[in-house]
């Protein structure tokens, strides 16, 4: 049927959605979230239909602005609208829901349609649910990864072999990337590191690195930097290494669905797209970490390694303690300070240790150190000042001030220190609550906001001793954060809780 185009000044979805009047849709036989083919002169595309009785009249079809721009179309022109079938990939999603194995072409089809925005939110949700309930075989995961790599950009770094590290996430302050990359770079290894921003934590590597320099670079800029100095620490979102994965994550997040096979595919597709050949994956295990259980972590590690072999990547996994934050500071600037201190041979012991373990393992994998001696070489890179110097090269290449000092970094002008009310030992540090408090202080958007810990887990404290300080740009944010502090994020263990006097009834 011929419908007059009406431009809608909205861009709410990724896929081509058009609005039709209920009566027209009924006449055409298309239901809500069904599909129509839209023909505009010699251009043609398929769109998903939402229904209205108000925004467009009978005889009109509402096109969102980006579609009009894309097809260079104006209000009032006619479009020929006909009923269209869903893309084949919808059948393949159904096939997976039915518990069948998907062939390579079928997975390719789903991923291509995801990238080209041909699938609606409910279809992508059904795909994520299908993978969650039915799982994917190793063969399917490999095909999924290759599809993701083929539909995205790939980094072409000339310096080989390419090293990489990745953390599954969930530990506040875990900024090992910013220590490992300059250590490797200082030893002449190639590590083009792309990182993410915080989702629910107080800061991601990208948020922290951004305190020191730019992080958004295009593919060719990343290639130039890495070919020049061997390494970088940039935002992965600036280069579409696995655009299909990003689109699936948008559906997985609100549903809270983290199917193991999509987790594996997500990480490995990005590693493969950046050309990684030798990779260490850090899997923190802890009550509030992404992985709660050590047995599952070991199973996941084995899957990483097996899939890595098929993708021609050597992968080693480190299963790490995820029940406490790493470093003293939580929040972009406070974490950057920890990193600068560690690279200067000082700073929090745990951040130095963990980073040197990871860098050391990569040295051993690259044949740069004999087995069991990698960590030593990593420590030498720090103690010789070479790693710090390399870090300043990275800052320089990424447009920051290479001479930056700790005092230059912005710290929230309001602060509040919480003291211990009792004498005892630091028993636990609730990582989830630590993230919540740091976010209430303003992290990661306020770079200087966050928490600084004066004590470590296991340490003995006296009554009245400083436990931690909150930093924020506004006083109200300190107040907000203190409200959350109703339950303490760190627990002081008292040997004797209470003494009950009186006679015992035996």
Count of residues of this chain found to bind a second copy when the rule CB under 8 A is applied: 50
DSSP state of 162: B
Active-site residue list: 258
- Contact segment (CB under 8 A) with a second copy among 87-95, 221-229, 285-293, 391-399 equals 87-95
Rule CB under 8 A: which of 144-203 touch a second copy?
A: 199-200
DSSP state of 86: P
Among 157, 180, 226, 251, binds a second copy (CB under 8 A): 251
255 versus 422: smaller Cβ distance to a second copy: 255
Determine, following the binding rule CB under 8 A, whether residue 99 of this chain makes contact with a second copy: yes
Are 10 and 63 within 8 A, CB to CB? Answer: no
- Contact segment (CB under 8 A) with a second copy among 22-30, 236-244, 311-319, 377-385 equals 22-30
Cα four-point dihedral sign 471, 477, 479, 485: negative
Q: What are residue 283's DSSP bridge partners?
A: 319
First to last CA, the chain: 90
427 versus 445: smaller Cβ distance to a second copy: 445
**How many of the other CB atoms lie within 10 Å of CB of 142?**
20
Spatial distance between the Cα atoms of 487 and 110, rounded to a whole number of angstroms:
46
Rule CB under 8 A: which of 282-301 touch a second copy?
A: none
Q: What are residue 195's DSSP bridge partners?
A: 235
Phi-psi region of 502 (alpha: psi -120 to 50; beta: other; left: phi over 0): left
Cα four-point dihedral sign 28, 31, 32, 37: negative
The count of C-alpha atoms lying within 13 angstroms of the C-alpha of 456, restricted to the half-sphere facing its C-beta, is 9
Rule CB under 8 A: which of 252-271 touch a second copy?
A: 253-257
Could you tell me the smallest distance in angstroms from the CB atom of residue 33 to a second copy? Answer: 4
54 versus 74: smaller Cβ distance to a second copy: 54
- Contact segment (CB under 8 A) with a second copy among 128-136, 334-342, 381-389, 462-470 equals 128-136
- Contact segment (CB under 8 A) with a second copy among 5-13, 334-342, 452-460, 483-491 equals 5-13
- Contact segment (CB under 8 A) with a second copy among 129-137, 150-158, 211-219, 267-275 equals 129-137
Rule CB under 8 A: which of 392-421 touch a second copy?
A: none
Determine, following the binding rule CB under 8 A, whether residue 486 of this chain makes contact with a second copy: no
Among 2, 22, 26, 475, binds a second copy (CB under 8 A): 26
Among 29, 372, 487, 502, binds a second copy (CB under 8 A): 29
Determine, following the binding rule CB under 8 A, whether residue 132 of this chain makes contact with a second copy: yes
The count of C-alpha atoms lying within 13 angstroms of the C-alpha of 458, restricted to the half-sphere facing its C-beta, is 4
Determine, following the binding rule CB under 8 A, whether residue 347 of this chain makes contact with a second copy: no
Among 7, 37, 57, 125, binds a second copy (CB under 8 A): 125
User: What are 300's two structure tokens?
Assistant: 């996941």
The count of C-alpha atoms lying within 13 angstroms of the C-alpha of 314, restricted to the half-sphere facing its C-beta, is 12
User: What are 86's two structure tokens?
Assistant: 């869903």
Tell me whether the omega of the peptide bond preceding residue 161 falls within 30 degrees of 0, making it cis: yes
DSSP state string for 200-244: SSS--HHHHHTTTS-----HHHHHHHHHHHSEEEEEGGGS-TTHH
- Contact segment (CB under 8 A) with a second copy among 21-29, 262-270, 284-292, 453-461 equals 21-29
65 versus 309: smaller Cβ distance to a second copy: 65
User: What are 180's two structure tokens?
Assistant: 């490992």
Supply φ then ψ for residue 467, to 5 degrees: -95, -55
x/- track of binding to a second copy for residues 427-456 (CB under 8 A):
------------x-----x-----------
**How many of the other CB atoms lie within 10 Å of CB of 494?**
13
Proportion of the chain in helix, strand, coil states, percent, rounded to 5: 40, 20, 40
129 versus 389: smaller Cβ distance to a second copy: 129
Could you tell me the smallest distance in angstroms from the CB atom of residue 255 to a second copy? Answer: 5
Could you tell me the smallest distance in angstroms from the CB atom of residue 303 to a second copy? Answer: 19
361 versus 440: smaller Cβ distance to a second copy: 440
Among 36, 47, 61, 90, binds a second copy (CB under 8 A): 90
Supply φ then ψ for residue 50, to 5 degrees: -115, 155
Determine, following the binding rule CB under 8 A, whether residue 1 of this chain makes contact with a second copy: no
Among 39, 46, 55, 344, binds a second copy (CB under 8 A): 55
Are 450 and 202 within 8 A, CB to CB? Answer: yes
User: What are 445's two structure tokens?
Assistant: 């958007």
Determine, following the binding rule CB under 8 A, whether residue 247 of this chain makes contact with a second copy: no
33 versus 46: smaller Cβ distance to a second copy: 33
Q: Residue numbers of the site for a second copy (CB under 8 A)?
A: 8-13, 19, 26-27, 29, 31-34, 50, 52-55, 65, 86, 90, 93-94, 97, 99, 120-126, 128-130, 132-134, 199-200, 250-251, 253-257, 439, 445
């Amino acid at each position: 049927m011929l419908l007059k185009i009406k431009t809608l000044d909205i861009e709410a979805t990724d896929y081509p959605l058009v609005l039709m009047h209920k009566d027209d849709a009924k006449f055409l036989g298309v239901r809500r979230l069904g599909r129509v083919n839209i023909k505009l002169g010699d251009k043609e595309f398929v769109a998903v239909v939402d229904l209205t009785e108000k925004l467009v009249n009978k005889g009109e079809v509402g096109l969102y602005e980006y579609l009009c721009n894309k097809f260079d179309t104006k209000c009032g022109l006619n479009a020929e609208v006909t009923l269209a079938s869903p893309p084949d990939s919808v059948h393949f999603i159904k096939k997976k829901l039915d518990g069948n194995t998907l062939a390579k072409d079928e997975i390719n089809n789903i991923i291509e349609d995801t990238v080209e925005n041909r699938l609606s939110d409910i279809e992508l949700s059904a795909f994520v649910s299908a993978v969650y309930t039915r799982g994917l075989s190793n063969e399917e995961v490999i095909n999924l990864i290759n599809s993701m790599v083929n539909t995205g950009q790939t980094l072409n770094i000339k310096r080989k072999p390419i090293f990489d590290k990745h953390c599954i996430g969930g530990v506040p302050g875990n900024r090992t990337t910013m220590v490992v990359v300059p250590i490797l770079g200082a030893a002449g290894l190639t590590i083009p590191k792309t990182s993410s921003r915080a989702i629910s934590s107080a800061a991601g590597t990208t948020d922290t690195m951004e305190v020191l320099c730019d992080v958004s670079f295009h593919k060719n800029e990343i290639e130039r930097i890495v070919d020049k100095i061997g390494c970088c620490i940039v935002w992965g979102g600036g280069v579409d290494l696995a655009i299909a994965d990003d689109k699936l994550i948008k559906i997985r997040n609100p549903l809270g669905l983290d199917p193991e096979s999509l987790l594996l595919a997500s990480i490995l597709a990005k590693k493969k797209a950046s050309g990684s050949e030798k990779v260490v994956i850090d899997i923190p295990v802890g009550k509030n970490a992404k992985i709660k259980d050590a047995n599952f972590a070991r199973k996941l590690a084995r899957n990483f390694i097996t899939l890595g072999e098929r993708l021609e990547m050597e992968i080693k996994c480190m299963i790490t303690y995820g029940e406490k934050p790493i470093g003293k500071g939580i929040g972009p600037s406070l974490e950057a300070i920890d990193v600068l201190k560690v690279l200067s041979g000082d700073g929090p012991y745990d951040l130095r240790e963990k980073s040197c373990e990871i860098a050391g393992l990569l040295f051993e994998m690259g044949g740069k150190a004999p087995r069991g001696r990698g960590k030593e070489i990593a420590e030498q890179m720090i103690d010789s000042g070479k790693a710090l110097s390399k870090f300043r090269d990275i800052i320089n290449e990424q447009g920051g001030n290479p001479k930056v000092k700790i005092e230059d970094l912005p710290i929230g002008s309001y602060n509040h220190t919480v003291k211990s009310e009792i004498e005892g030992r630091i028993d636990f540090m609730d990582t989830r609550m630590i993230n919540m408090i740091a976010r209430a202080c303003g992290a990661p958007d306020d770079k200087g906001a966050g928490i600084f810990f004066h004590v470590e887990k296991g340490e003995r404290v006296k009554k009245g001793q400083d436990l931690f300080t909150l930093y924020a740009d506004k006083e109200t944010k300190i107040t907000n954060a203190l409200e959350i502090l109703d339950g303490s994020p760190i627990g002081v263990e008292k040997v004797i809780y209470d003494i009950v006097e009186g006679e015992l009834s035996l």
